[in-house]
Structure formats: C-alpha cells, structure tokens
Structure 1
C-alpha cells in the first residue's frame, strides 16, 4: 500500500503545482494578473515584485523535487508543498475575513473571487502532501498497479485544477457575483467612453402626422383708395 499511496500523492500534488505554476507564467498578462492578486491578498511591502515571483519559483521547485530521482528529494518536495498549501489557506482565509473580493488566480485564468471553500481545498491538499512527507517515496509494487495508480493520481489532480469552474457552475452563489473590481478594464473603458444616446427612437411602422398648410381663401381687406372688386375692361 505504501508505494501506491506515495505514487498517487506524487501525481496528484505534482500535477496541481505544475498547472498552477505554468498558468501563472504562460504570458505577461497572466503573471501581471497573478502579481496584482498577490498584492491584494497579501498587502505587504514587495508583494508584487518579490513575493509573486517567489511563489512561482517555489511551485516549480515542488514539481522538480517530487519527480527527481534523488534520495530525500521526494520528502523535501512534499514538505515544501505542505508548507505552501498551508500558507495559501491562511492567506485566503484572512482575505475572506477582510472581505476582499479579489480573484485568487490560483490557476492563472480563474477569475473566481476568493472564498472560504478555497481555503478548505488547500487544507485538504495539505493532508496528502504531509502524509507523503512522512511516508516517503516507497518502493515495490507491480507495474500494472503502479500505472493504474499514476492514471488515478493524474485524473484527481486534473479535477482539482478545474475545481473553481465546477464550483462556479454548480454553486453560482459562492461569491461569483460580478463587481467593478473584477470587470475587465477594457469593458469598463468602453462603457465610460461610449456616450449614451438620449434621443427618442422612432418606432418602426409609425408615421408621425405633418402639419397641413391652410388654404388661402380670404382676400386682402379693402383699404382706402382700393376697389374691392376688379374693374371690368370695356
């Protein structure tokens, strides 16, 4: 049981940290969004310039240590993953307590605002990571069983990476309401620039009546020295 458990945890935690790290650095805008989220969630000096790059570097380090065939590397990677997950859980819990509505950016593109269940998710992931640090990499096991364990671990890790979208889909009331802080900047600028047309719109098929000109049947009044009737020519 020990080698299969270690293999499952290695695949689960390794894939979660790999997707998390890659999604943050896949583009300049992705890293900028993550750095802004770190600055909002952890309002400390140097959060954007120092803490954000350090978090990404540590996530890549977890992946490298978990797959490295070096003695003790697996335990160091598991301990590092446990510490990061606990730190993430505490940071998210304090952000929720402060009423922060910033997106977590845990997996880069996710714009779901931070909520208590994300802290619970990180705590839940910290449990197998801590178990792996205590148990170690393990050895032995049949080839077929190990391969099946790897597949199960990767599937579980993939489900964790899309957990934000799944919770938003099935539980729309978990803090996903749109706010001015989460609205894309381009949309806000377009709404600010575009003037509102306040002119009344013409309804299709409605013809407005036009004023009719009155016929001029009256004659000019006769004045002094003017003959009201035209003279007949003889």
Structure 2
C-alpha cells in the first residue's frame, strides 16, 4: 500500500508542478502576466525581476526531482513541493486580507482572482507532499497496480490544474447577465415634450403634381420683388 501511495503522490504533485512551471514560460506574455501577479501578491522590492524567476525555477526543480528514480531525489522533491505550497498558501491568505483581486496565475493561463479556497487547496496538497518527504518512496507492488496508480495520479493532477476554471464557472452569479440600463429621466422628459411631427409624409416613388400658377393661392403678384423694366420713351 505504501508503494502505491508514493507513486500516486509522485504523479499528482509532479504533474501539478509540471503544468504550473511550463505554462508560466510558454510565452513572453505568459511570464510577464505571472510576474505582474507575483508583484501584486507579494509587494516586496524585486518581486517582479527576482522573485518570479526564482519561483519558476523551483517549480521546475520539484517535478524534475520527483521524476528521478532515486529515493533521495524523491524526498527532496516532495519536501520542496510541500514548502512551496505552504508559502503559496500564506501569500494568498495575505493577499486576500489586503483585498487584492488580481489573478492568481497559479497555472499560467488561469485568470481566476485569488480567493481563500486556493489557499485551502495548497494546504491540502502540502499534506501528502510532506508525508512523502518524511517516509520516502515505497517499493514493490505489481505492475498492473503501479500502472493503475499512475493513471489515477495523473487524472487527479489534471483535475487540480483545472479547479480554478471550474470553481469560477460555478461561482454564484457567474451566469447572471447584466440588465440593460434604463433610459435616463432627462431623455424621457425631452421625449415627452417633443412636439409631434405634423409634416405630411411622402410616399416613396410618388411625386405630387404641381399646381399651375393661376390656381396658386398667392397674394403676391408674379414678378413681385423684381425691379420693373423701364418703359421705352417714344
């Protein structure tokens, strides 16, 4: 039983830190976003330029040590994972207490803001990692049992890496759509007092016939406003 548990922890923690580290350096934009998140979560001098690269390097070291088939490397990798998870949990708790609403960027592409459940998640993951660091990897077991344990560990690790999106998806109010804003009172008041348009509307394509000059109801004689032509003198 001990050997299966250590294999499950190796796959679980190893996959989590593998996805976390690779996603942060998958592009320049990804790393810049993670560095900005580190600066917001840990407002200390040099957080963006020094602390962010150190965190990524340590995450690479975790899954690299866990992948080695050496008992000592497994212990160091599990201990490093437990320490990082505890530090991450503490940083998230302090950020939540300060009211920081920046994205955690725990797995690079995650855009979910920091919350208390992420600290709980890290604390839960730190427990098996710390136990593995104390007792080391087990030995023995059947081949079929090891394969099944590896599959279960990888599935659990994949689930953990997507928990941020799942929690954000089922968060209360995530599906609430904003109602359109009601028209302002000023607009309604102006609309209410606008005079109705009483001009006759012309149908498209219909030309109204013009009245002859004799039938026009015009009191102004034709040619009014023009200077009369001078009469010829005989």
Shorter chain as denominator, the TM-score bin is 0.7 to 0.9
Q: CA deviation at 1:49?
A: 0.5
- The runs of at least 4 aligned residues of structure 1 exceeding 4 Å deviation read 210-216
| Secondary structure, aligned partner of 1:104 | coil
1:89 aligned residue: 89
Q: CA deviation at 1:219?
A: 3.3
1:147 aligned residue: 147
Q: State the TM-score, normalizing by the size of structure 2.
A: 0.76
Higher Cα Rg, which structure: 2
Alpha carbons of 1:161 and 1:217: their partners in 2 closer, same or farther (altered >3 Å)? same
Residues 2 and 135 in structure 1, CA contact (< 8 A), matched pair in contact too: no
Q: CA deviation at 1:171?
A: 1.8
Gaps of 5+ in 2: 177-196, 203-209, 222-234
| Secondary structure, aligned partner of 2:114 | coil
Paired residues, number: 191
1:61 aligned residue: 61
When the two chains are superposed, the root-mean-square deviation of aligned CA atoms in Å is 2.5
Residues 71 and 137 in structure 2, CA contact (< 8 A), matched pair in contact too: no
Q: CA deviation at 1:67?
A: 1.1
Q: State the TM-score, normalizing by the size of structure 1.
A: 0.76
Distance (Å, rounded) in 1 between the aligned partners of 2:93 and 2:27 = 28
Residues 78 and 133 in structure 2, CA contact (< 8 A), matched pair in contact too: yes
Distance (Å, rounded) in 2 between the aligned partners of 1:21 and 1:208 = 71
Q: CA deviation at 1:8?
A: 0.2
Per-residue CA deviations over 1:143-170 (Å, capped at 9, x if unaligned) read: 0001000000000000000000111112
